[in-house]
Amino acid sequence: MKAFFIEGYGKQNGRIGEVPDPEPGAHDVLVQVHAASVNQLDSKIRTGEFKLILPYSFPLILGNDLAGTVVRTGSAVTLFKPGDEVYARPPENRIGTFAQLIAVNEDALALKPSNINMAEAASIPLVALTAWQALVETAQLKKGQKVLIHAGAGGVGTLAIQLAKHFGAFVATTTSTPNIEWVKALGADVVIDYKTQNFENELHDYDVVLNSLGTDVLEKSLKVLKRGGQLISISGPPTESFAQQQRLPWVLRQVMRLLSSGIRRKARKHGVSYTFLFMRANGAQLKEITTLIEAGVIKPVIDRSFSFQSTSDALSYVEMGRSKGKVIITIK
């Protein structure tokens, strides 16, 4: 099969070439990939930013989102059959959706929403699961609570705004001037133009902040939260508890404890909690998200689509950080 893979870490690394077809295990589903989407995570994996916590071997096929059709199932698979249209974010140790075929554990898969196409479905899993695990699972967001979602025009932001509004939250977000009306249409109640406003001076007494930006934004977000509030970051720094969940070596646990010590100390001083979230594959949660998509609660947001041959260009475009919603690669 053809796949886009890297043979070492580096920003401009990667090419399309022939690789062996994956062989599904007993609990795996072999999927013909119709479309995949590009995430900042793909870029960070390519450059080696996560090599300590995600020790991949080479050649490594990139890609963390897919939509496609089931070709074959392992002997122990009970939830899917050949011909099913599915979508998924594969487990982090078995990525590789920039390919014609991929074997995915059935626990990570869900049936594709019936009211959207393959490209739209491919845009959903990673960002929707991130939003779900941040707002529903971690924050346990309740009706009437106030949440600040940074980078509302980004992939995670566009889904998180819609999900938070569904659960009855009051939503604030940050974006640039051209996107203000656009994120309002997604459901944001208050929009902070980071070009002209300082969000930490405008917003107060929030229950939850979902951060996907840098350290400076992370620390300023503490000022927005009321006592007992939650600061959840998907961009780091990682914590010792995360390292324990990943079963990383003792040395790396201490490294992450030190990396996050500053923000954890400042969070305690403000009377709030700090959580680092690294999204995990979860087919059951994706099934819940499917229900919301089919009910019209959540709508995919796509910026641009690239051909499989232009995968490098798609990665470069995402690295610019200017996309509104998701960037898609069409493979079939």
117 and 143 share a domain? no
CATH code where residue 93 lies: 3.90.180.10
Q: What pTM value is reported for the model? A: 0.96
Pairing between strand 85-88 and 109-111?
A: antiparallel
166 and 100 share a domain? no
216 and 132 share a domain? yes
308 and 218 share a domain? no
75 and 193 share a domain? no
* Phi, psi at 227, each rounded to 5°: -60, 135
108 and 143 share a domain? no
Return the percent helix, strand and coil in the chain, to nearest 5.
35, 25, 40
For the stretch 114-127, pLDDT in tens is 999 999 999 999 99
60-61, strands of its sheet edge to edge: 15-18, 2-6, 60-61
Q: Using the predicted structure, report yes or no on whether residue 52 has a pLDDT greater than 90.
A: no
153 and 14 share a domain? no
Structural domain boundaries, residue 193: 126-276
CA pair distance 218, 210, nearest whole angstrom: 9
For the stretch 170-196, pLDDT in tens is 999 999 999 999 999 999 999 999 999
Check: CB of residue 14 under 8 Å from CB of residue 99: no
178 and 89 share a domain? no
Q: Using the predicted structure, report yes or no on whether residue 20 has a pLDDT greater than 90.
A: yes
Q: Is residue 111 part of a domain?
A: yes
Q: Is residue 288 part of a domain?
A: no
101 and 219 share a domain? no
Q: In the chain, how many domains are there?
A: 2
Q: Is residue 261 part of a domain?
A: yes
CATH code where residue 269 lies: 3.40.50.720
182 and 263 share a domain? yes
What pLDDT, on the 0 to 100 scale, is given for residue 289? 98
